[in-house]
Amino acid sequence: MPSSRCCTTSTATTRPRSAASRPPSWSSPPVEFGLILIFVVFGVLVMAGVPVAFCLGIAAAAGFIYEGLNPAVVFQQMASGMSIFALLAIPFFIFAGEIMLHGGIARRLVALASACVGWMRGGLGMVDVSTSMLFGGISGSAVADTSATGTILIPAMKAKGYGVDYAVSLTVTSSIAGILIPPSHNMILYSLAAGGGISVSALFIAGIVPGLVMCLSLGVAAYVMAVKRGYPADAWRGFRHLGWTFVDALPGLMTAVIILGGVLSGIFTVTESAAFGAIWALLVTLLVYRALSWADFVIAVRASVRTTSVVFLLVGTATAFAWLLAMYRLPDILTEGMLAISSNPIVILLMINVCLLLLGCVMDMAALILITTPIFLPVVVAIGMDPVQFGMVMMMNLGLGLTTPPVGAVLFVGCAIGQIPMEQIMRTIIPFWGAILFALMLTTYWPAMSLTLPRLLLGYGG
C-alpha cells in the first residue's frame, strides 16, 4: 500500500535521481527499467524458493538503490505499513482461531453439523461443508478450518467407506468459507492495501452471502458425487439430539455473535471485537468445555505468534514494494493497457479473474492481497465496480489458489491429514473447483450478491 506519510529523509536523499545525476555508464535508461528490475529480482527469488516476505523486501531494496534513494526509506515504509492500529485485530483473530482449534470447539461444531445434515446421502460430506461454514465464521482461517475439521472428518469418512480423495478434496475446498464468512483477517489486509478507506465492517458483512452461496454450491457438488459413488447416509437422530448438540455448541458459536454483533451494533470497533472474541474463546475452552490443556495453550500461543509474525513482515515489505509500484505508476499503466485491449467491463473483469487465479497458484494469499490490490483496484474502480465487491472477488479468487498446486497451503494440509499424494486427488477436486468458480462468477457480475447486506445493515453507500 503506498504510504500517504511524508518521508522524514531529506528531499535530496529521497528523490529519484535524474538522468543527469546518474553515472554516464548507465546511458540514462528509462525509468520503467526500475519497474522491470524489481519484478525480475522478485521473480528470481521466488523461483529460488526464498520466502515471499524476503522476496518483496529485497526487490524493494533493489528498486530504492537503483533510483538512488536512501535505503533507510525501505525501513521507513515497512514501519509505516506495520504501525496501523487496525492491524491489531489480526493477531486477536489468529489467536482465537488457534484456541478454538485446540480447545474442543471444532469437535462440537462437527457434532452440530452432523445432527443437522448428517441424515442426507453422503451425509458426512454435507457435515464437512456445514462445519467449514460454522468454524470459518468463527476462526476466519482456511488453514485452521482444514486442520480442525480435517483431523475429525477425514478419518471418519474413511471409516464409513468414503473415498479418501473425496474427503480431502471436499475438506480443502470448503475451508475457503473461512476467508469469506466473517470474521476474516484477510479482509483487514485488503482494506489496508486499498489505502484504509474501505470499511472493514462493510467487508465483513459483504462476505456472508457469497460465502453461503459458495458453500451451497459445494454442497450440491458433494451430494451429486456422493449419489454417484453410492456413499451412505447416517440415521436421523431426532430433534431432541439436535437441540442438545446446539446447546453444547452454543458457547463456541457465541464467539461469532460477539465479534459480528459488536461491530454491527457499534459497541466495538473491529479491533475491540477481535480482542473480546479471543477472550471469550479462551474463557469458553477453559471454564465451560475444560478441554484446553496447558500444553495445548502453549501450542496455540506459539502458532499464533508465528503466523502473526509472518503476516506483519509481509505487510511491511509489501508496503515498501507497493510504494515503488505507485512511484512507477504501474496501476495507471495497467489501467490504460486493459482499457486499450477492451473497454467492456465483462472482458476486463474476466482478465483480472484469470490473472488472480494464475497468481494464486504460485504465491501466498496474504502477499498477493498486499501486492495486487494497489494494482487492480484502480482498474475496477475505473470501470465502475465497487471496492467492497472487488474485495469479495479477490477473497474468493485467492482462496481458490490455496487449494491449487504447486503452493496451495490448504491443499498440502489436507493431503497430509488424509495421507494421500496430491496427484491422487486432482481429478476428484475438479467438480469442487467448478462449484467455487460458479460462485465466483456470480460474485463478479452480480453486485447485489455482495452489496445488499452492507447497504441494508450498515447503510453502506459505496
- How do residues 49-83 score in pLDDT, each as one tens digit? 788 788 888 888 888 888 888 777 778 878 877 77
Predicted TM-score (pTM) of the model is 0.75
Measured between alpha carbons, how far is 311 from 192 in angstroms, rounded to an integer? Answer: 13
Of 136, 91, 222, 100, which is closest to residue 399 (Cα–Cα)?
A: 136
pLDDT < 70: residue spans in the chain: 1-31, 86, 136-141, 144, 148, 362, 406-407, 462
Q: What pLDDT shows up at residue 5?
A: 37
Measured between alpha carbons, how far is 457 from 242 in angstroms, rounded to an integer? Answer: 30
Q: What pLDDT shows up at residue 2?
A: 39
Measured between alpha carbons, how far is 367 from 352 in angstroms, rounded to an integer? Answer: 17
C-beta separation of 377 from 369 below 8 A: no
Measured between alpha carbons, how far is 305 from 300 in angstroms, rounded to an integer? Answer: 9
Of 191, 107, 91, 103, which is closest to residue 141 (Cα–Cα)?
A: 91
C-beta separation of 195 from 438 below 8 A: no
Q: What are phi and psi of 222, to 5 degrees?
A: -65, -40
Q: What pLDDT shows up at residue 321?
A: 83
Q: What is the chain's alpha carbon radius of gyration, rounded to the nearest angstrom?
A: 23
- Peptide linkage before 405 cis (omega within 30 of 0): no
> Mutual orientation of helices 387-401 and 426-445 as an angle, nearest 10°?
180
Q: What pLDDT shows up at residue 139?
A: 57
Measured between alpha carbons, how far is 119 from 143 in angstroms, rounded to an integer? Answer: 27
Q: What pLDDT shows up at residue 407?
A: 65
Q: Which three cell numbers stand for residue 363?
A: 504465491
Residue 18 buriedness (CB in 10 A; 0-12 / 13-18 / 19+): exposed
